[in-house]
Structure 1
Amino acid sequence: MSDAQPRESGNRFSTLSGVFTPCVLTILGVIMFLRFGFVVGQSGVILTLGIVAASKVITVLTTLSLSAIATNTKFKGGGAYFLISRSLGPEFGGAIGLMFFAAQALSVAMYVIGFTEAATNYLPDGTSPTLVATITNILVFACVAIGAGWTIKIQFLILASVIVSLLSFYIGAWQDFDSQLLSKNLSPGFADGESFWTMFALFFPAVTGIMAGANMSGDLKDPARSIPRGTLAAVAFTAVVYASQAIMLGGSTSRAELVGNTLVMADIAIMPAMIAMGVFAATLSSALGSMMGAPRIIQSVARDRLFRLLQPLGLGSARDGEPRRAILATFLISQAAIFAADLNTIAPLITMAFLATYGLLNLATFYEAITKNPSYRPRFLYSHWTLSLAGAVGCGLVMLLIDWRWAIVAAVMVAALHSYLSRTDLNADWGNLNSGLLFERTRRNLLKLEDELYHPKNWRPFILAFSGTGFSRPHLVVFGSWLTSKTGVLTLGQVIPGDLGDHQTRRDSQEKILHAMIQEQSLSAFPAVVVAKDYVAGVEALVQCQGLGRLRPNTVLLGCPLTVDRMRIFGGLLRNIEGLGRSVVVLRRVDQPDHQWSIPRGTIDVWWRGRANGELMVLLAHLILDHPQWRHHTLRLLRVVDRADGIDEVESHLQGLLKEARILGKTKVVVSSDPASAIQTTSRDAAFVLLGMEPPQAGQEDEFFYRTEALVGNLPRVALVRSAGGMRLES
C-alpha cells in the first residue's frame, strides 16, 4: 500500500464503538479521578461549575463546527487536521496538524503519568514511578500496534469499569452528603499562585476528548453521521457527570481533603477498589485513545506531503493500513515527556495546543459559512456562523486568560509553520475556502465600488495590453507590467481572427498558453483571448466587454504601426477607442534588446503641451519610476517654446506642475522653431519619451503617419499618449 492512498479496507466502526465510547473514555479520564477533587477544593463548587460550563461551551461550539464541516465533505483520516487543511488550506492545516499531533502524543504521557500516580499507591514503597510509567507506555504502545480493532473492543470493558466506579462513588457520596459542608465548599479557597484560570488550565484537558472520535474518521463506517451524533452525545453525558460530581464532592468531604488527597474519590466511594479499577481503566483507555488518534493525524499530514521529513510516517501496514511507523513516533514522544515532566506541567501545554486547534476549526467553519460558497452544504443544520465565530473568539480569549505568554508561543508556532509552508512549493490538489473567501470579498467590494462616486484621486491604471500570440509583442507586456506593478491591473489581450465556431478549441488553448506564460514570467496579469472577424474588431470587442462594473480597462496599450498601410486601419481603431472613453498608449519601440526586461539608461522625458494629454503622461512616468528597477532614473518635464523671452514663465509653470503633483523631477524649456528636431536632439539619450497625440480624422491617416514619423525620428522608445481624462495631477 502506498503512502499516498487512503485506507480502502480494514476497520469500520459504528457511532457507539468509534465515536461515543472513545470520546467518553478520553473525557472521563485521569483529570476526573486524580485532579478534579483538587479543582473543587481550590475553586469551590460554584466556580468549579463555572469552569465545567465554560469548558463545555467551548467544546459544544467546537463540536457544532466539527459536525458542520464533517457533514459537508467526504471525511478521510486525520480528524481536525483533515478538516482544517481542506478549509483553511494546507498552510494552516499543516501547522495545526503538527501541533495537534504533539498535543495528542503529550496526552498519552499525561494519561500514563496519571495511571502511574494511582498505581504507586498500591505498589511497594520505593517503586520507581518512571519505571512504572515506562512499562505502562510500552504496553499501551503494544496494544495499539496490534491494531485499532482489538483496542476498540476492549474499550467496552473499560467503559463498563468506569461506570461501575462512578456508581460506587455516587453511592458513597450520597451516604456522606452534608448540606452544611456543601455550603462551606461553595466559595473558592485558592492557595498562593492558584486562580480560576490555573484551575481552568488544569481541568480543560479533561474535555478535549471530543476529537477522539474525529481522529478515527478514516476507520468509521459513516463519519458524517457518526461524528456529530457520537460527539454531541459524549459531550452531554460527560457534562452531567462532571457537574454532578462537583456537587457531590463538595458535599461529602472537607476542602483540605479535596486539595491534599489525589485519591479522595476512593475514600468517598462505597467500594474503594472500584475507584482504583476505574482510575486504571480510565487512564489506560485515554492513553489508548490518544495513542490511536495521534498516529492517524501525523499519517494524514505525511500523506499530504507537506513536510518532506515526515513522509515516511505516511506508510501504513499492507493488510489494514495501520500507521505503525507513526505509532512508534508517538510512543517515542510520549516516552520523552514521561522522562521530562509531570502531570501538572503537561496539562497546561496540552490545553494551549487543543485550544489553538479548536479555535482554527471554529474559524474554518466560520469562513466556510460567510463565503456563501454553493459547495458548502452541510447536512448538520444546527451550526451558524455566529456560533463558529463565538467559538473561535472564545478559544483565543481563554488562551490569553490562562497564560498570555504560552498563548503567544502557540500563536508564534502556528505562524512560523504557516510561513514555512507558504514558502514551500505545495502540490495540494484539494480545494479550500481561500478562493471562496476571496470571491465573496471581491463580490462585495465590486458592488460597493459600483455605488461609490468616482473621484480622480482614486484613478489607477487598468491597462489592456494587446500582447499578441505567445507574447509576440513582449515590449507591450513589459511596459504594461512596469506601469501596473504596484497599484494597477494588467490584462494581456489576444485576438484570433476568424469564426468562433472554427476557433473555439484554439481560443481555449491560447488562453491556457497565455496564462502559463504569465505564471512563467511571474506577472501580475490576467489573460483575455477573443475570436473576431479581424484584429480591429477583436480589439474593439475586448475594450467594450473586458472588466466588471466600474473595474474595467481605462487605458489601452497598443503597438505602433510602422507602415502607412497599417496606419490607415489603425487610425480608425484609435478614433473608436477614444469614442469608447478609454485612454490610449501607443508604444513605438524600434530597438531590440537582448533581454526585454533590461532597463535602458537615461531619463524619462515627458514633453508637455498642455493638460489634455500631459497629466496622464506625467502620471504614467511617475508609475514607471515607482517600479523598483526604475527608481534611480529621473523624470524630466520638458516643453518647446519658439521664443526665449517666455522661458522663465514656462519654467516656473512646469516646476509648479511637479510641485502641485508632489512628483520629483527636473524641468527644462527648449527654445526652437522646429519642435521635432528639438525633441529628437534633447531626448536622444532618454530611456523613454512620452509624447501627446490626437487620433487622426477620417481620411487623414497618411498625414498622421508621416507627421508622427517626422516627430519621433530615430528615438528608440516612444510612448504616444491620448488621454480620456479621469485623473488630475493635484489629486
Structure 2
Amino acid sequence: MLERMQDKKLGTFFGIFIPNVTMMFGVIIFLRLSVVTGTIGFGQVCLIYLMSLALMLITSASTTMLASNMEVGAGGVYYIIARSLGLKIGGAVGLATFMTQILTISFCTTAFSYTIVSLFPSLSLTLVEVLTLILLTVVSSYSARAALKAQGFIMLILMIAIVSIIVGTTQNVPNPPVDAKPFFDHTFGFWQAFAVLYSALTGIEAGMALSGTLKNPSRSLKIGNPTSLIFVFVTYIVLAGLADHYFTRETLMSDPFLFRKISWPLGIVTVGVCAATISSALGAILGGPRILQSLSQDKITPQIFARTYGPLKEPRYAIIFTFIISLSLVLSTDIDQIIPIYTMICLINYGLLNLTAFISNKINAPSWRPTYRLPVFLPLIGFIMCAMFMFMISPAWGFTAITVVGLIYLLLRRNEYASEISGIRRSVWFWLMRKGLYLLDSEEEDISTWHPTLMVLSISPSSYPRMVKLAKTLTDDNGLLIFGVVLPTSWNTSDRLSWNKKALISNFEEQKVKCLVTTHTSDSPYQGFINLTQTHGIGHLEPNTMMLPITSLEDINHELLGLIKTCYSTNKNLLIYYPQQSNDISTHFNKKTTSKKVIDLWWNSEDRASTDLMMNFIEILSESSFWRRSKIYLNALAESDDQEQSLNDFLKGLVKLNRLKIKVRVHQTDKDSCEIENILDRSDKEDVTLQVLPAYDPTHSDEAYLAKLHNVIQKSQTMSSDCLFISKYDTIDHGMLLK
C-alpha cells in the first residue's frame, strides 16, 4: 500500500519544474516585457533579471538546505519557516502567503475572463469568471496529478506562444509609429521597472507548496528550483534582446501589445495570454489550499481544512474554502491596488527563508545535519537583498506588508497551540547566551555594570506572596530573579523533582513573576541553602544577593549563622525578610485605595556600605510599577539640634544630587536610647521597612553575633510592617552611584 502511494507521488519535472515555470510565465512576458525594455533599455533589463536571478538562486539554495534537514510536508514556505522559526512566525507568514494565493487566483481569473470576453463580446464577464473558477476548482480538487498534467498542456501552449514571438520578431517588423506616446510616464525608472519584472521570477513557492506530494522533496527542490529559474531567465533575456535588436525604441516604448501584433501565426499570443493567466490561477489554486491544510494541521486555522480525500490526500475542504473566498473577491472587489503587496510578501517569505538558513548554518546545532550545505554567509546576502529590494521598490508597500504580517503574528500569540513548535529559537537564544556568558566571564564587574542577581532561598516560596512580590520588584526591569527551593532528600527522584519544579514554575507564571527555578534536595534546609549559595551559577553569572525568609526567633541559630558565613566568604549580599507578625504570611500586600503605600528606610552611618546598597535597592523599588506611587522616607536619627540640621542638609543634598524620589526625615533622640527602639517608634504604619542588618565580623564571637541578631529581630516583632534587613558582602562599591 505504501509503495503504491509512493508511486502516485510526483517527481521533479511535474512537481517542481512545471508549476514553477507556468507561474513565472505570466502576462508580463506578453504584455509588459517589450514596453519596459523600450523604456529603460536592454542593458538595465538584463541587470534587473541578473539581480533577480541571483536573489532567487540564493533563496532556492537556502530552501534546499533547509529541506534537506527535515521531512518537508505540505505547505512549502510555511512548513519550512514554521518548523524553523516556530508556529507564531510561520503562521503569520503562512496566512499572508495564503492570501497572496487568493489574490493570484482572483486576479488571474479576472484577467483570463477579460481576454475571453474581448474575443467573444457577447459573453457575460461575470459568467465567464464564475465558470472559470469552478472549472479550476474541480480540476484541483479531483487530483493534483490531473491538475499538473493540465499545467503541462498549458506549458506547451506557452512555449508555442513564445516561439511564435521569436519567429515574428524576424518577419513582422512594423514601421516606427508617428507621434507615439510612451506607455509609461517620465517617472518610470529602474526600480519601478524592477517591481514589474522581478515578479516574473517569483514562482518557486508554487512547487514548494506541493512539497507534500513529492516523492523526494529535498532532491526535487535542489534540482527543480534552479533549473526552472535559469530556464525562465534565459527566455526573458532572449525575448528582450530580440525586441531591442529588431524594433526601434519608440515602437517598444509606446506599444505594450507589440508581441501580440507581431507573433506568427497572428493571434497565438492571445492564446498564450489565456494560458499564462489560467496557469497562474491553477498553480495558486493548487498551492493555496495546501498551505491552508498545513496551517490547520498545526491547529492555527480550523482543523476541518486539514481533512484529505483520495490516494493523494487532496484537501477538498480547503479547496472549497479557497474557492469561496476567491469567488467573493472576483465578484465584488477591484484588487488592482492590492497587487503590489503580493511582491512584498514574497520578498518577506524569501527573506525569512534566507535568514532561517543563515541562522541554522551559523549556530550549527547538533540537530542541524543538512545533506546539502551552503557557505555560511551566502543566505545572509540573500536576506539583505530581499530587505533592500523591498524598500527600494516602495517603502510604503514594504512597511504595509511587514505590518500585515506583524499584526497576524500578534494575533497568533494568543493562540494556545502556537507554542508547540519552537523551531530554532531556543538554539538562537542558547547561541547568544553562550557568547554572552563567555564575554561576561572575561570582564570584571564594577558598579557601572552591576545588576541585582537575586536568589530567594526557601522550602516553600509560594507561602510568602509578599516576599515574592518584593523579590519581583527588586529585579523586574534590570535584574535576574532565581528561586532556590530545597526539598527533602526523600523526594530525590527524577519524576518527583520534575513534577515539583513544573508546579513551582506554573505557580510563578500564574502570579506573572518572571524568574528561574532551581531545586535542591537536602535533609537540612539550611545545608541546602548553603550548597546553593556556594555552587549555583555559571562562571561570573551567579547570584550576587541571597534573600531568606525568617518567621520566628527560633530561626536565629547556628544554621542561619552558617549561611551568613557562607555569604561573607563568597562575597554575596544577604537580605533577610521578616514578615509582619500580626499579619498572615500567606496574604498579599493590601491594595490601598485611600492612601499610598509607604516604605521606610533607615540611614546607618556606622555601616555605610550596607546603607549604600539599601539606597540602590530603594531606587529600583521606586521605579517599579507596584511601588512607583508610594511614599518613600529616608529616616535618620540625630542626638542634637546641630546634628539634626547637618544630617538633614546632607541627606537632602544626597537625594537631590542622585534624583531619588525620597523624602528625608531626621528624628532627634536621646543619646543613650536604643536605635532599634527608635525605629520601632517611628516605623509602625508602613508597608515595608528597610534596615541594615548587623554585619558579620569574624573577629567577634559567634555567640555575640547571634545575640545581636536575636535582639534586632526580637525588637522588630512588634512592628506593623514587613521588614527587610540588608547586609553587604560583595566587593562592589555601591556608594559610587551615590555621588
If the length of structure 2 is used for normalisation, what is the TM-score?
0.89
Structure 1 pair 432–652 and aligned structure 2 pair: CA distance change class (3 A): same
Which residue of structure 1 aligns with residue 369 of structure 2? 377
Please state if 1:608 is matched with 2:603. Answer: yes
Pairwise CA distance, 1:555 = 0.8
**Separation of aligned partners in 2, 1:248 and 1:206:** 18
Matches within 5 A, 1:52-131: 52-116=49-113, 118-120=115-117, 123-125=119-121, 127-131=123-127
**Secondary structure in 2 matching 1:465:** strand
**Separation of aligned partners in 2, 1:710 and 1:287:** 82
Which residue of structure 2 aligns with residue 50 of structure 1? 47
Structure 1 pair 275–497 and aligned structure 2 pair: CA distance change class (3 A): same
**Separation of aligned partners in 1, 2:338 and 2:422:** 36
Matches within 5 A, 1:463-482: 463-469=454-460, 471-482=462-473
**Separation of aligned partners in 2, 1:612 and 1:78:** 62
Structure 1 pair 702–403 and aligned structure 2 pair: CA distance change class (3 A): closer
**Secondary structure in 1 matching 2:644:** helix
Which residue of structure 1 aligns with residue 677 of structure 2? 677
Could you tell me whether the CA contact under 8 Å between 1:114 and 1:343 is conserved in 2?
no
Structure 1 pair 659–78 and aligned structure 2 pair: CA distance change class (3 A): same
Structure 1 pair 323–256 and aligned structure 2 pair: CA distance change class (3 A): farther
**Separation of aligned partners in 2, 1:654 and 1:626:** 20
**Secondary structure in 1 matching 2:734:** coil
Which residue of structure 2 aligns with residue 185 of structure 1? none
Q: Select which of 38, 42, 57 maps to 2:35.
A: 38
Q: Select which of 394, 407, 417 maps to 2:385.
A: 394
Partner AA of 1:680 in structure 2: L
Please state if 1:148 is matched with 2:140. Answer: no
Please state if 1:313 is matched with 2:309. Answer: no
Pairwise CA distance, 1:287 = 2.0
Which residue of structure 2 aligns with residue 573 of structure 1? 563
Q: Deviations over 1:238-263 (max 9, x none)?
A: 11111111111222334455455555
Which residue of structure 2 aligns with residue 446 of structure 1? 437
**Secondary structure in 1 matching 2:702:** coil
Partner AA of 2:734 in structure 1: R
**Separation of aligned partners in 2, 1:191 and 1:564:** 89
Partner AA of 1:420 in structure 2: L
**Separation of aligned partners in 1, 2:383 and 2:646:** 65
Structure 1 pair 626–9 and aligned structure 2 pair: CA distance change class (3 A): farther
**Separation of aligned partners in 1, 2:648 and 2:525:** 43
**Separation of aligned partners in 2, 1:335 and 1:50:** 38
Structure 1 pair 381–602 and aligned structure 2 pair: CA distance change class (3 A): closer
Could you tell me whether the CA contact under 8 Å between 1:564 and 1:705 is conserved in 2?
no
Structure 1 pair 250–433 and aligned structure 2 pair: CA distance change class (3 A): same
**Secondary structure in 2 matching 1:389:** helix
Q: Deviations over 1:278-306 (max 9, x none)?
A: 44433322221111011111222233222
Partner AA of 1:687 in structure 2: D
Partner AA of 1:478 in structure 2: K
Which residue of structure 1 aligns with residue 734 of structure 2? 728
Partner AA of 2:278 in structure 1: L
Partner AA of 1:580 in structure 2: T
Could you tell me whether the CA contact under 8 Å between 2:6 and 2:215 is conserved in 1?
no
Matches within 5 A, 1:305-704: 305-307=299-301, 310-317=302-309, 320-339=312-331, 347-382=339-374, 384-469=375-460, 471-498=462-489, 503-560=493-550, 562-564=552-554, 566-589=556-579, 590=581, 591-592=583-584, 595-598=587-590, 603-610=598-605, 611-670=608-667, 671-672=669-670, 673-674=672-673, 675-692=675-692, 693-695=694-696, 697-700=701-704, 703-704=707-708
**Secondary structure in 1 matching 2:462:** coil
Partner AA of 1:29 in structure 2: G
Pairwise CA distance, 1:710 = 4.5
**Secondary structure in 1 matching 2:455:** strand
Pairwise CA distance, 1:604 = 1.8
Could you tell me whether the CA contact under 8 Å between 2:27 and 2:276 is conserved in 1?
yes
Structure 1 pair 198–503 and aligned structure 2 pair: CA distance change class (3 A): closer
Q: Deviations over 1:550-579 (max 9, x none)?
A: 221111111226234752321222122211
Partner AA of 1:441 in structure 2: L
Could you tell me whether the CA contact under 8 Å between 1:661 and 1:730 is conserved in 2?
no
Pairwise CA distance, 1:214 = 0.3
Structure 1 pair 340–250 and aligned structure 2 pair: CA distance change class (3 A): farther
**Separation of aligned partners in 2, 1:633 and 1:729:** 24
**Secondary structure in 2 matching 1:699:** helix
Could you tell me whether the CA contact under 8 Å between 2:85 and 2:423 is conserved in 1?
yes
Matches within 5 A, 1:210-225: 210-225=204-219
Structure 1 pair 490–125 and aligned structure 2 pair: CA distance change class (3 A): closer
**Separation of aligned partners in 2, 1:9 and 1:518:** 50
Which residue of structure 2 aligns with residue 209 of structure 1? 203
Structure 1 pair 503–351 and aligned structure 2 pair: CA distance change class (3 A): closer
Pairwise CA distance, 1:588 = 1.2
- C-alpha RMSD of the superposition: 3.0
Could you tell me whether the CA contact under 8 Å between 2:465 and 2:585 is conserved in 1?
no
Q: How many residues align?
A: 713
Structure 1 pair 565–398 and aligned structure 2 pair: CA distance change class (3 A): closer
**Separation of aligned partners in 1, 2:130 and 2:450:** 69
Pairwise CA distance, 1:619 = 1.9
Q: Deviations over 1:681-731 (max 9, x none)?
A: 111112222222223732335523442244424114212211114242442
Higher deviation after alignment, 561-570 or 482-491: 561-570
Identity of paired residues, percent? Answer: 27
**Separation of aligned partners in 2, 1:407 and 1:330:** 26
**Secondary structure in 2 matching 1:527:** strand
Higher deviation after alignment, 447-456 or 278-287: 278-287
Partner AA of 1:507 in structure 2: L
Pairwise CA distance, 1:544 = 1.7
Q: Deviations over 1:34-93 (max 9, x none)?
A: 332232233322222222222222222221222222222221111111122222332322
Q: Which runs of 5+ in 2 are unaligned?
A: 177-181
Could you tell me whether the CA contact under 8 Å between 2:466 and 2:585 is conserved in 1?
no
**Separation of aligned partners in 2, 1:131 and 1:261:** 30
Could you tell me whether the CA contact under 8 Å between 1:116 and 1:129 is conserved in 2?
yes
Could you tell me whether the CA contact under 8 Å between 2:305 and 2:318 is conserved in 1?
yes
Pairwise CA distance, 1:602 = 5.2
Q: Deviations over 1:389-445 (max 9, x none)?
A: 322232232222323222222122122222222244344322322222222222222
Structure 1 pair 551–537 and aligned structure 2 pair: CA distance change class (3 A): same
Q: Deviations over 1:162-209 (max 9, x none)?
A: 33333343344355699x99xxxxxx9953453333332222332111
Partner AA of 1:554 in structure 2: N
Higher deviation after alignment, 70-79 or 134-143: 134-143
Pairwise CA distance, 1:118 = 4.5
Partner AA of 1:363 in structure 2: L
**Secondary structure in 2 matching 1:436:** helix
**Separation of aligned partners in 2, 1:465 and 1:706:** 22
Q: Deviations over 1:517-542 (max 9, x none)?
A: 22222211111111235222211211
Matches within 5 A, 1:217-366: 217-259=211-253, 261=255, 263-272=257-266, 274-307=268-301, 310-317=302-309, 320-339=312-331, 347-366=339-358
Partner AA of 1:545 in structure 2: T
Q: Deviations over 1:310-360 (max 9, x none)?
A: 544333336643222322333344444444678975653432232232223
Could you tell me whether the CA contact under 8 Å between 1:609 and 1:639 is conserved in 2?
yes
**Separation of aligned partners in 1, 2:555 and 2:83:** 57
Q: Deviations over 1:425-481 (max 9, x none)?
A: 344322322222222222222222223342213222111101313634444323211
Which residue of structure 2 aligns with residue 28 of structure 1? 25
Which residue of structure 1 aligns with residue 179 of structure 2? none
If the length of structure 1 is used for normalisation, what is the TM-score?
0.90
**Separation of aligned partners in 2, 1:40 and 1:724:** 76
